[in-house]
Amino acid sequence: MTADVLMEDNHCLAIVKPAGLLTMGDNTADETAADMAREYLKTKYAKPGKVFLGVVHRLDRPVSGTLLFARTSKAASRLSDQFRRGTVRKTYIAMVEGQLTGRGRLQDWLRKDRTRNHVSIVSETAEGARECRLNYRVLENSRDQTLVEVRPLTGRSHQIRVQLAGLGHPIVGDLRYGAQDALGSRIMLHAARLEFVHPTLKTDVRIECHLPDEFEL
């Protein structure tokens, strides 16, 4: 699989992550987006040996869209710090089940069961609970599905998937969190845009990723 590059310079590389592809390796030997990015750099610049690539954030395996890597250790440290502090602006497009209207903010407390890789909405006082917030606005409706723009204000695991399901509108294809039907290797969640400060130039960077055709209602 060849990398679809959205942005590249001496310190950053952003690619389109296809749905169904891991961001980085797990206990399987499956190809990852990081492998794909390294192979792209190795081939383009004829680099011998290992290619440095810093993984500064992740997308869930069934999610598509904008994935940013660092090409230097300095960039990796500075970009990771921006993600950790929550200063990176992330915009997603989701197709959810049912008819949702208007716009709003969701605020929940989530807890992750790491043994099951499953996240649940819990009470504020529950052990391990972490506050999660996101803003959403409806873009388009059909009879039984809604296209929604989502801007997470915190960066918790599975946050968008769980919070939209908790609202009564699970993401289409997301069986793990209550969707009616599976869509193979993907769910209808797409990382459409990243906005951050360049790690060395200190300029504002905005990277956008086209919406796949299947998101048309």
Architecture of the domain delimited by 5-211: 2-Layer Sandwich (3.30)
Tell me the helix, strand and coil percentages in the chain, rounded to 5.
20, 40, 45
Options 4, 9, 26, 60, the catalytic residue:
60
Helix ranges (H only) for the chain are: 33-44, 73-85, 159-166
Give the pLDDT score at 97: 98
Query: 214: helix, coil or strand?
Result: helix
Give the pLDDT score at 181: 94
Give the pLDDT score at 129: 97
Active site residue 4: no
Q: How many CA atoms lie within 13 A of 44 on its CB side?
A: 14
- Cα–Cα distance between 23 and 83 in angstroms, integer? 16
- Cα–Cα distance between 39 and 46 in angstroms, integer? 10
Under 8 Å between Cβ of 164 and 145: no
Mean pLDDT by 10 residues, the chain (217 residues): 95 97 84 96 92 96 98 98 97 98 97 94 97 98 96 96 98 97 95 98 98 93
Q: Are strands 89-97 and 189-197 parallel, antiparallel or unpaired?
A: antiparallel
Torsion sign across C-alpha atoms 71, 59, 63, 159: negative
Residue 52: other Cβ atoms inside 10 A: 14
Give the pLDDT score at 206: 98
Instruction: Kindly give, in sequence order, each residue whose CB lies less than 8 Å from that of residue 49, ignoring residues fewer than 6 positions away.
Output: none
Give the pLDDT score at 169: 98
Give the pLDDT score at 53: 97
Per-domain boundaries in the chain? 5-211
Torsion of CA 176, 178, 183, 185, to 10 degrees: -10
- Cα–Cα distance between 191 and 211 in angstroms, integer? 9
- Cα–Cα distance between 62 and 73 in angstroms, integer? 28
